């Protein structure tokens, strides 16, 4: 779930699309509603849809559709000791019938994954020995938390780029110019 999905659902709601209309129109190859913004909104939601199973996606659309900008909305996070759940990292285990899931955690509460359904958060907490924490937040606060989660999740890419640059620069510094007995410089 991210800010773009919330904004897309808000746009579709303002244009009189029902929850059912949104769910039924997901995953079409093209959208032709004679409105570029509406077509773009469906494209964004469809991209997000591919990251979830259908039942979770339907629940997310329902939650976001019912979200009200004027009131506080309930969301849940999972606390694991002094850390917070950020995301699941699915792994394929060769030769196993079940795949494995690693989890990423953070000490920054604001970067925690937001669960729109308490049952899903509770299931994860029970399986991982954690606990569920409810937050009552405005839709704007939700967008800020989603941005923080996405930024935290993407920080691995930024860190890898930084580490690669540091390694490259360090390896360049290891090359020393030396005098070639025949003249000129060599590595």
Written in H, E and C, the secondary structure of 105-139 is: EECCHHHCCCECCHHHHHHHHHHHCCEEEEEEECH
Question: What distance in Å separates the CA atoms of residue 26 and residue 63, rounded to the nearest whole number?
Answer: 16
Question: What distance in Å separates the CA atoms of residue 22 and residue 12, rounded to the nearest whole number?
Answer: 8
Query: pLDDT tens digits, residue range 136-187?
Result: 998 888 888 888 888 887 777 777 777 777 777 776 665 555 555 555 555 4
Please check whether residue 153 is in contact with residue 1, taking contact to mean a CB–CB distance below 8 angstroms. no
pLDDT of residue 86 exceeding 60, the answer is yes
Beta bridge partners of 112: none
Query: pLDDT tens digits, residue range 45-82?
Result: 887 776 666 666 777 777 777 877 778 889 999 999 99
Query: pLDDT tens digits, residue range 102-145?
Result: 788 999 999 998 888 899 899 999 989 999 999 999 888 888 88
Of residues 98 and 5, more confidence is placed in 5
Q: Which range has highest mean pLDDT (4-8, 34-38, 73-77)? A: 73-77
Pairing of strands 100-106, 83-91: antiparallel
Confidence of residue 88 (pLDDT cuts 50, 70, 90): confident
Residue 84: burial class (beta carbons within 10 Å; 0-12, 13-18, 19+): buried
Record the pTM. 0.62
Please check whether residue 42 is in contact with residue 25, taking contact to mean a CB–CB distance below 8 angstroms. yes
Q: Is 33 helix (H, G, I), strand (E, B) or coil?
A: coil
Question: What distance in Å separates the CA atoms of residue 177 and residue 167, rounded to the nearest whole number?
Answer: 19
Q: Count CB neighbours of 110 within 10 A.
A: 15
What percentage of the chain carries pLDDT values higher than 70?
Answer: 80
Mean pLDDT, residues 12-28: 83
């Amino acid at each position: 779930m991210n800010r773009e999905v919330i904004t897309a659902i808000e746009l579709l709601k303002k244009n009189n699309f029902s929850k059912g209309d949104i769910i039924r129109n997901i995953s079409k190859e093209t959208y032709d509603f004679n409105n570029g913004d509406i077509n773009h909104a469906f494209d964004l939601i469809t991209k997000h849809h591919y990251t979830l199973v259908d039942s979770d996606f339907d629940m997310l659309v329902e939650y976001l559709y019912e979200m009200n900008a004027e009131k506080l909305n309930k969301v849940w996070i999972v606390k694991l000791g002094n850390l917070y759940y950020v995301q699941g990292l699915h792994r394929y285990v060769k030769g196993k019938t079940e795949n494995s899931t690693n989890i990423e955690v953070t000490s920054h509460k604001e970067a925690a994954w937001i669960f729109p359904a308490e049952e899903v958060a509770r299931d994860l907490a029970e399986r991982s020995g954690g606990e569920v924490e409810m937050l009552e937040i405005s839709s704007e606060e939700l967008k800020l938390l989603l941005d923080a989660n996405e930024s935290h999740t993407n920080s691995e890419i930024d860190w890898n780029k930084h580490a690669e640059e540091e390694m490259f620069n360090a390896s360049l510094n290891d090359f020393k110019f030396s005098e070639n007995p025949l003249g000129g410089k060599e590595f």
